[in-house]
Amino acid sequence: MKVRLSDYDEVWVRRFQEEADFLMNLFGGEIVNIEHFGSTSVPGLMAKPVIDMICIVNQIDRVDRFNATMHSLGYDVAGDWGIPGRRLFRKGGENRTHHIHFYQAGNPHIQRHLVFRDYLRSHPQEAERYGRFKEELAQRYEHTSEYSPAKKAFVTEMEQLALAWYREAQH
């Protein structure tokens, strides 16, 4: 898939909410909460225009019952996609619009993603630094298969800063 970076667009919040409402309806009482995360959830941050969502459920195994329905609605059913305890659905094919990550309540990936989001929202200078880095990578790499791994070390470092900020805020 080609890397497509866009300036922040306020429509991303609406697209998140529309999809969240749809999923809450479809999954009934299985979903406890839905959170918008990733770059499209940080005002002002340049992003690939793909809405990242976390759906928190009580029982992750129950999500599998919806695979056929999700597939029939045009979602890519990706299973755990390399992260045990996750279920991933992708919407939009080559022009992807949403990545929907299901996690069982208490999964540590939930906190990691949300703390990183909140850190970037609370530290605009760090969000700007992250945006510049992504822009540099997008100029070097044409495909997400190269772009995504190239940003991993930088993101991991920022996540560590975010977790330290979070821990300090808790005391």
pLDDT of 171 > 90? The answer is: no
Q: What's the pLDDT at 132?
A: 95
Residue 130's pLDDT band, with cuts at 50, 70 and 90, is very high
pLDDT at 147 > cutoff 90: yes
Q: Is the pLDDT of residue 2 over 90?
A: no
Q: Is the dihedral of CA 24, 62, 91, 26 positive or negative?
A: negative
Q: Would you say residue 138 has pLDDT above 90? A: yes
C-alpha of 61 from chain center: 20
Give the CA distances from residue 27 to residues 18, 65, 67, 142, in Å, rounded to whole numbers and listed in that order: 14, 10, 11, 36
Q: Is 38 helix (H, G, I), strand (E, B) or coil?
A: coil
DSSP SS3 for 138: helix
Average pLDDT over residues 146-163: 95
CA–CA distance, 60 with 102 (Å, rounded to integer): 7
Radius of gyration, CA atoms only, the chain: 16
Tell me the per-residue pLDDT of 13-68, one tens digit each, with 9 for 90 and over. Answer: 999 999 999 999 999 999 999 999 999 999 999 999 999 999 999 999 999 999 99
Percentage of residues in the chain having pLDDT higher than 90: 93
Distance CA 86, CA 76 (A): 14
- 5: nearest Cα among 108, 151, 103, 122: 151
Order across the sheet with 75-77: list the strands: 31-37, 51-57, 98-104, 86-91, 75-77
pTM of the entire predicted model: 0.93
Per-residue pLDDT, 13: 97
